[in-house]
Structure 1
């Protein structure tokens, strides 16, 4: 475990940021290192700090000279030292598991250091003394002046400090001697040796702290107590303090020079000049903000980051110190080989500015993309009793490889002479990529070797992802490679599109058939002749796996029918594929078709098509001419039935009948619509027991109506008939491709196929694909591939757009909003439904009873009995539970129809009003809404919060349904949020019916309103509709509020109603 990992959590983020700034400024260097201790010096922002880290009692103990550390806190200087020690792999004993993950500040454990007196001979830093005086004397070190800290008597003498240049050079460290001078008559007398003594006076408190520090932390030089040899780590701080006194001098061979200034934050530059002999001369230059000078003049080099140049003290970084010492003492010239090596070392190991280097010696700073590189082998240890792989990670910088844990921070490319700095963020991103693929990194331990690990079962997937991202991978001696190029070509011949191509792996070329084989096997790997493993790109695999399933593999190519053009073209749209002239010509023909050409209905069609319906007729005709199946998916209420009847009417010259498969409840609607719009087309109702005899009559009719149930039962007979069109209404009935409905529909033989639905997708995309397989058999091939390619939960925007473009030509969908200009403001239609067998039996039983009671010659026609009969029969037409509550668990035909329409319309974003005279029926609908989690409002005569219910429906977008009692809500409500109205059991007085519809169709309504009367076929509801047409006044009187004309009903009227 690294030092950073082990101790970083103990330091606040602010401290870490400050530590990073210190390191970036190269203001820290390690002055002493070992496995158990590290000493460092920091010269940063005018502060000189000393730090020591050591192992004591199985714990990391830190000692720093800064104010924060002296008060017991963990500081930025300690953390910076930890990071540098970690980088240089020092203080390795800390990695032992026995060493605690805690840090103890030496000053926070004991106060003894604060009580030490100057006479005690122990190692104390100068910074401590300065802080000691500050605490005791309340004096700021930043403002100390000699005149402010001494008595008048002490002003008569002073201490001077002299840097002994010759002795410093011979000792290899800084030697300072201190003298005292007495002042007489305003003149300073000759200096005398000043020797430290306990308890003596000082002319200045800085003098006191310096002298006491030197006495405790330096040794005498040449057996003279006034001449002190300093430790390297003390040089800069001592000189900086003495400079404040203005009494620091340098003794040269001939003179005593007053030191005047201190320079920090300097920049070192090297300058090479090539001589006539071909050798190079090296000059050094130091630059600060205001100064610049040549270092080849006389200067004093010390074994510390301090340079004494003329009258200036210069603070150096560690890099500057090392390279000045290395080069300044070199011979006057360098050979080309020597200078090339030196230049490389300077570029790689320092931040020294190399801009002035000759071009031949300069390495250009460059940024390059870093690529991951893995070597994989079987791990020595198992993981949870399972074999695992050991993975070694390296980074590839433009061909230069650096191992993950290498301390190298810079690299030079030999060919391009580029200097590259390692990109920590990019390397971190590559490591994150491994983590995302379930690699795990483990520290070294007795049970596992350090490094990345991966379970073998996850290798193939990881390799595909990483190779696709340009990683380099080798496993047990085998190299994984991606192709340099994959070349594909599309062409068109007769009724087929052909795809052929190759993949190039260095010198080996693989044909499409081998690539297809790899795609079909699902692994995407190909073994190459040299033993390496070719990896097909994931994007290529995703696309071509689908193509292999919908196409036919033949003679090293894939073939597709012309009906598959849109899917193939969309899947390959973004691929770099050559398209020959034959393909481009065919593609232009298909693409031009995307523009719809409207078509008028034939003259003998009894109706006028609206503009959008003419577009629909034209589109269906064009699709048929191209031999393509289609799906008409207009919103409910836009007249899909009328458009299809107009299409079939235009096909009268075709001798084959057209088969229309639909729910049983729609048989009557289709028959009625066909009779209204094209009565000259013969229609056969191929349902029920009578169909056995009708089978031979199919060929003699233009339109054959049947149900999905009948289709399933008779498919073995029906599949042998050649139909012109096979049309599925409410085609979501085949949404499950494995259902019997779907299988039977695909077995029908027809020249053309058409699906009709207002909701092509109810839950999943595969429902749409099932219908697609019906209208164009074989076009999408193996549905499982499409399930994988278009996983509902994994769809991104690009996939959705790609899917939409691929299927768009085969589906025509218009919403009411899109065609609003062609629609009347209010449309009223009748929806028929057929009672179930049990419902019909109960209704017939009830009807027979009232026929006997009211129509027998001996029966007396009581007005109350007549009202009871009509009411009961109307209730039975809605739901048997309205007659007998024991049938509450059943779902009536009318309830089922409305529930389906309700779900369909809500999915399209519409709001609905559902009216019923019977509150018990509304209660059943309420339960349906609750089961489907549909938010609704409710209003009947007992509702107290009437206004609240209205406002919820009008203003809350989540409330889609309003269940309303006809009597309680038929008048006085403004419900313009709705655009669909269902009259479940309309009060057959047309005025009351119109009032209910007008709750939505009124001032403020901005949408077209569609109203539906829901009628159970073969019941009294159907009779009353007919009676309305024949005898409007009588029909009105039957259900007038007063009911005062019941007595005027004749026996013939009752026979009509009860027949």
Structure 2
């Protein structure tokens, strides 16, 4: 207890003194792990009396309460308390050190982080709905509907080491070498009614329809890789389809599946998967929880698998890579010609050695040599690595297996010059629950005010039993109280809390963009959101420039110049209000809007920092939106006020409505929805 209490006090002191450092996060997570383990041990201990056990639990609860109150001050710490939070190796090591300090020998089955734990100790689950699916298909048979790939023919290349030369062939390629397999004419046959594919998207779908089954889809961000993958699965009838993604885009994949495959059921795995639909056609899981589900996923007869941000598996010794590769092996053993797609925007000429794991996932190579299809293609060239022409022809043989890469500038005619792409994210864990609870409390407070005013008012415009004139009056009172800071949680404080909760997810996505597409502009409204983003970039080794309102003009210009002129500075972290006007950042064509503007004009001004004279590529603004919160409602209102059709900017700076209008309409919708809901729902 003394070791735990001392560690919690150190975390508290660090928070009071300023920013939360990586060391502070490590200590916080180690304490949280120890608390959970000690609580479980005390509960299971049958040696002591009930009174002694209750006293121990009470003391542990006291420390846990202090820890939780400390975490509330920082969204990053709250995220570490989530059920599926990744436990850092440093935190495990510190936990063992703290146990020894307390005189407790760490459990014998705890291995050092560099040694993977034995499979028997992994936390594996089988959701109840999956058990139902398995019972409904007890004799699931392998798919023999198509011929399996032929075995490699006896070849003169059998004694050659080929993986190294194949990788080297990409590094040796000149600037004019092809990075895209031949694609057929586009087809829109598989697009759902009302949806239209861009020509470059339709060509990949046509390739899947023609029978191609493995793709390394490396289009630049913003070119619609998600839609291409979903419709390729439709063309190949590759269901059940597993989609493995980073946590930040998990919700967006589910939304895209509803749009592009509306007649297919999609389910998202959170945590242990208690809420999933075991009979779904499309299963979306994030890398962080894949280890819990890899067992049953390998047993349900997958006929397709998509790995998004596939460079996440480049380290073949990591747990996530091992699970992805084992699943792809299971898919190939069950289905004769499964659809396997690796999605990444990372250019193929960078760290080509990292693509060894991706090629293995796709079934092009194994641990030591090319598999049958690639080996036969290499044999047909008639060349060996000793021949001068081998590298160019070998490279083309790999490209023809399914590498598809298009740049924005290559398909500029297909896409708008500038557009907004919404990326919904789920705020899981304690932070998300507290925000949704605050939103319910705000609705309850307005409902009580409405009912109190209604009791003394006898007239008004009513529909469905709701006095809509009174609703707007109550909202005006709420806005006035919020402006004067008389209320508790109000629309301003809630949006700020949502911004802090989104900060890590938004920064993580910006980091992915920076690695795959080049320079990125990151916009936020609040300083603490900028601080959290900058800390994450620093932890990931991404250099950034900070452009804020409290800087002198000289410092500000120096930071702008660093972003524009220094190739090593990948991200500009900008204040939405301070950097939204008057600066030129056209060196970047991707922006991340971590927090919503109150008006479309403010949003457009920020985007115009990159979309201006001198910009040679289409500009994409990635707007991070907290799903199932007032954040999503405000995004819809901003778009409707500005008339943004299909999320595509038309270039107009005309402002329709003010920030007060958006706030007013958001609160009107929130109150109206609460009044329309059943009483027990509103009170709950």
Do Structure 1 and Structure 2 share a fold, with TM-score over 0.5?
A: yes
Distance verdict in 2 for CA 1:707–1:612, change over 3 Å: same
Distance verdict in 2 for CA 1:824–1:1027, change over 3 Å: closer
Does the 8 Å CA contact 1:601/1:614 hold for their aligned counterparts? Answer: yes
**CA deviation after TM superposition for structure 1 residue 499, in Å:** 3.1
Correspondence list, 1:427-506, <5 A: 495-499=150-154
Distance verdict in 2 for CA 1:743–1:938, change over 3 Å: closer
Does the 8 Å CA contact 1:649/1:681 hold for their aligned counterparts? Answer: no
Structure 2's unaligned 5+ residue stretches are 1-147, 171-177, 372-387, 454-473, 644-653, 676-681
Q: Cα deviation per residue 1:784-809 (whole Å; 9 max; x = unaligned)? A: 99xxxxxxxxxxx9998687456333
The SS at the match of 2:598 is coil
Does the 8 Å CA contact 1:953/1:960 hold for their aligned counterparts? Answer: yes
C-alpha distance in 1 between matches for 2:425 and 2:662: 31
Which of 584, 587, 603 is the equivalent residue of 1:974?
Answer: 584
C-alpha distance in 1 between matches for 2:495 and 2:394: 48
Structure with greater contact order relative to length (CA < 8 Å, sep ≥ 6)? 2
Q: Give the superposed CA RMSD.
A: 4.3
Instruction: Tell me, yes or no, if structure 1 residue 873 matches structure 2 residue 465.
Output: no
Correspondence list, 1:578-657, <5 A: 594-602=181-189, 605=192, 606-622=194-210, 625=211, 629-651=214-236, 656-657=239-240
Paired position in structure 2 for 1:907: 515
Distance verdict in 2 for CA 1:769–1:995, change over 3 Å: same
Paired position in structure 2 for 1:829: 421
Structure 1's unaligned 5+ residue stretches are 1-492, 502-539, 551-565, 572-590, 786-796, 881-893
Distance verdict in 2 for CA 1:633–1:1032, change over 3 Å: closer
**CA deviation after TM superposition for structure 1 residue 672, in Å:** 1.9
Correspondence list, 1:969-1048, <5 A: 969-1028=579-638, 1040=658, 1043=660
C-alpha distance in 1 between matches for 2:534 and 2:672: 36
C-alpha distance in 1 between matches for 2:240 and 2:661: 53
Paired position in structure 2 for 1:927: 535
The size of the alignment, in residue pairs, is: 454
Distance verdict in 2 for CA 1:1014–1:494, change over 3 Å: closer
Distance verdict in 2 for CA 1:906–1:740, change over 3 Å: closer
C-alpha distance in 1 between matches for 2:513 and 2:493: 31
Instruction: Tell me, yes or no, if structure 1 residue 546 matches structure 2 residue 156.
Output: no
C-alpha distance in 2 between matches for 1:634 and 1:1044: 39
**CA deviation after TM superposition for structure 1 residue 827, in Å:** 1.8
Which of 537, 542, 545 is the equivalent residue of 1:937?
Answer: 545
Distance verdict in 2 for CA 1:642–1:1049, change over 3 Å: closer
**CA deviation after TM superposition for structure 1 residue 856, in Å:** 2.6
Distance verdict in 2 for CA 1:769–1:917, change over 3 Å: same
Correspondence list, 1:113-132, <5 A: none
**CA deviation after TM superposition for structure 1 residue 1009, in Å:** 0.9
Distance verdict in 2 for CA 1:948–1:973, change over 3 Å: same
C-alpha distance in 1 between matches for 2:256 and 2:196: 14
In proportion to residue count, which structure has more helix? 2
Paired position in structure 2 for 1:780: 366
Q: Cα deviation per residue 1:324-383 (whole Å; 9 max; x = unaligned)? A: xxxxxxxxxxxxxxxxxxxxxxxxxxxxxxxxxxxxxxxxxxxxxxxxxxxxxxxxxxxx
Instruction: Tell me, yes or no, if structure 1 residue 740 matches structure 2 residue 319.
Output: yes
Instruction: Tell me, yes or no, if structure 1 residue 808 matches structure 2 residue 395.
Output: no
Does the 8 Å CA contact 1:971/1:995 hold for their aligned counterparts? Answer: yes
TM-score (norm 2): 0.57
Paired position in structure 1 for 2:251: 668
Does the 8 Å CA contact 2:218/2:346 hold for their aligned counterparts? Answer: yes
Distance verdict in 2 for CA 1:956–1:800, change over 3 Å: farther
**CA deviation after TM superposition for structure 1 residue 638, in Å:** 0.8
Distance verdict in 2 for CA 1:667–1:618, change over 3 Å: same
**CA deviation after TM superposition for structure 1 residue 949, in Å:** 3.8
Instruction: Tell me, yes or no, if structure 1 residue 820 matches structure 2 residue 406.
Output: no
C-alpha distance in 2 between matches for 1:1039 and 1:958: 41
Does the 8 Å CA contact 2:641/2:657 hold for their aligned counterparts? Answer: no
**CA deviation after TM superposition for structure 1 residue 1044, in Å:** 8.4
Paired position in structure 2 for 1:716: 295
Distance verdict in 2 for CA 1:545–1:613, change over 3 Å: same
C-alpha distance in 2 between matches for 1:1049 and 1:686: 30
Paired position in structure 2 for 1:759: 346
**CA deviation after TM superposition for structure 1 residue 826, in Å:** 0.8
Q: Cα deviation per residue 1:426-481 (whole Å; 9 max; x = unaligned)? A: xxxxxxxxxxxxxxxxxxxxxxxxxxxxxxxxxxxxxxxxxxxxxxxxxxxxxxxx
Higher-Rg structure is 1
The SS at the match of 2:570 is strand
